[in-house]
Chains A and B, each alone.
Chain A
Amino acid sequence: MRTSTVDLVADTPRAAAARRTMAWTTGGLAAAAAVAGGWLAPPDAVQGQAQRLMYLHVPAAWVAYAAFAVVLAAGVAYLITGDLQWDRLARAGAEIGVTLTVVTIATGSLWGHLVWGTWWAWDPRLVSTALLLLAYAGYLALRSAMSERAGTRDGGDHRVARSAAVAGVVGFLLVPVVHFSVVWWRSLHQQATVFAPQRPPIDPRMGVALLLAVAAATLGALCVLLHRAVRLERRGTTGASRAPDRVPARVG
């Protein structure tokens, strides 16, 4: 994470400009995805207009997986290097992953209401996704509670960082369970289309809209991740040197 071309998590004007460029690119991709998903792609033969929820639901779910992969990778990197920068990246990843899992469940619930005829079902995919949400909400709660008890800032203490890294690595075990739940068990939820071994047919316009939406969501989440990592770092440095009294106020 030291400089290669531009260190994107650095708190410098050059890195900030690079992050802004990335944000504008995200905006462009999101606009293209909205046009493709909202108008250019045809409504589905079976599901009608409700199928357009796929362009929100699937990217949210995939990027949530990716965010939890960041928690895993950053946790491993912290355990190897002992650099708190990784710990803050893991926290930011978990925050994004939890938010996107909520988005996944909300859009999936609406989609289920429109197409399945039910808002919720006690189905392996739905229940395992709820468990995933609970696990990472618990991860964030654990971090917050441990830092509060130690009287430190979340993201600035090695004892918290070590436990959080272990929890983040173990928590990732749930991600394959969620992803393969529709294959391993008998589920109401449809199986994967794009990541299926023999890819079932999907209309190319739908496929393009989905890819654009996934690209926009991935890049957008990366922007938020970098921004959040910089903010957490900045808060840590100012807190240590100038304003230690602001420390206990942070609970979230």
Chain B
Amino acid sequence: MIRRRTGRATLAVVLLAAGALLVTSALRDTLTYYRTPGEVLGDPAAARERVRLGGDVVPGSLRRDGDLVVFRLAEGGHEITVEQRGAPTGTFREGEGAVVEGSLAVDGTFRSDHVVVRHGNEYAPSTSPVEPADAR
């Protein structure tokens, strides 16, 4: 009886471990949600297909060119110029993090059609802390 139960428990553990292994290998793209500029520049061939690129929007690099939004994403000393087609969400701004989705063109710019804002875990009142409350 005890033997049968340990056998069943071992089987359950093995199945669970196998399941976990399958899930993590299937979700490899999920586990690394985005690549850094350094990784993309280090392996440009991999970025010719659709990948996600994340970094901080370099202050002063943001400009609009028709329906293109052009900016540079930087992390760890590496930078990539991004040409984003379509307006990003309202919280997108210089100095904040962003993750873009697209591929690296031959000329070294990253052409993306999807951008999400990646904000930090610090919370501070907006620059004029008292005014908005009084204004209402």
Q: How far apart sit A44 and B124, CA to CA, in the bound complex (Å)? A: 5
How many chain A residues sit at the interface, stated as a range, is 35 or more
Partner of A45 from the list B12, B27, B127 (CB cut-off 8 Å) is: B127
A34 to chain B, nearest CB (A): 16
The answer to whether A203 touches B124 (Cβ under 8 A) is: yes
Answer yes or no: A252 CB below 8 A from chain B CBs.
Answer: no
- Is A51 in the interface zone, CB < 8 Å from B? yes
* Most A Cβ at <10 Å: residue of B34, B117, B119, B121: B121
The answer to whether B124 touches A188 (Cβ under 8 A) is no
Determine if A123 and B30 form an interchain contact, defined as CB atoms under 8 angstroms apart: yes
A193→B122 contact, CB < 8 A = yes
Partner of B123, one of A51, A123, A192: A51
Query: B42 near A: Cβ within 8 Å?
Result: no
Q: Which residues of A contact B (CB under 8 A)?
A: 39, 42-48, 50-51, 54, 114-118, 121-124, 127, 131, 170, 185-188, 190-193, 196, 200-203, 205-206
B2 at interface, CB cutoff 8 A: no
Does A39 lie within 8 Å of B133, measured CB to CB? yes
Query: Can you name 11 A-B residue pairings with CB atoms under 8 Å?
Result: A46-B93, A46-B120, A51-B123, A115-B91, A117-B91, A170-B12, A193-B122, A203-B123, A203-B124, A206-B123, A206-B125
Residue on A nearest B96 in the bound complex, by CB: A46
Q: Nearest-CB distance from A176 to chain B (Å)? A: 13
Which listed residue (A45, A122, A123, A196) contacts B125, Cβ 8 A?
A: A45
B-side interface residues, number (CB < 8 Å) = 34
Chain A facing B: main interface SS: loop
Known A116-B117, A117-B89, A123-B33: A201·B132 in contact at CB below 8 Å: no
Shortest Cβ distance from residue A115 to the other chain B in the assembled complex, whole angstroms = 5
* A153: min CB distance to chain B, Å: 26
User: Given A121-B116, A124-B33, A48–B126 Cβ distance below 8 Å?
Assistant: yes
Interchain CB contact under 8 A, B30 and A124? yes
Confirm or deny: B6 has a beta carbon within 8 angstroms of a beta carbon on chain A.
Answer: no
- B125's nearest neighbour on chain A, judged by CB, is A42
- Chain B neighbourhood of A201, CB < 8 A: 122-124
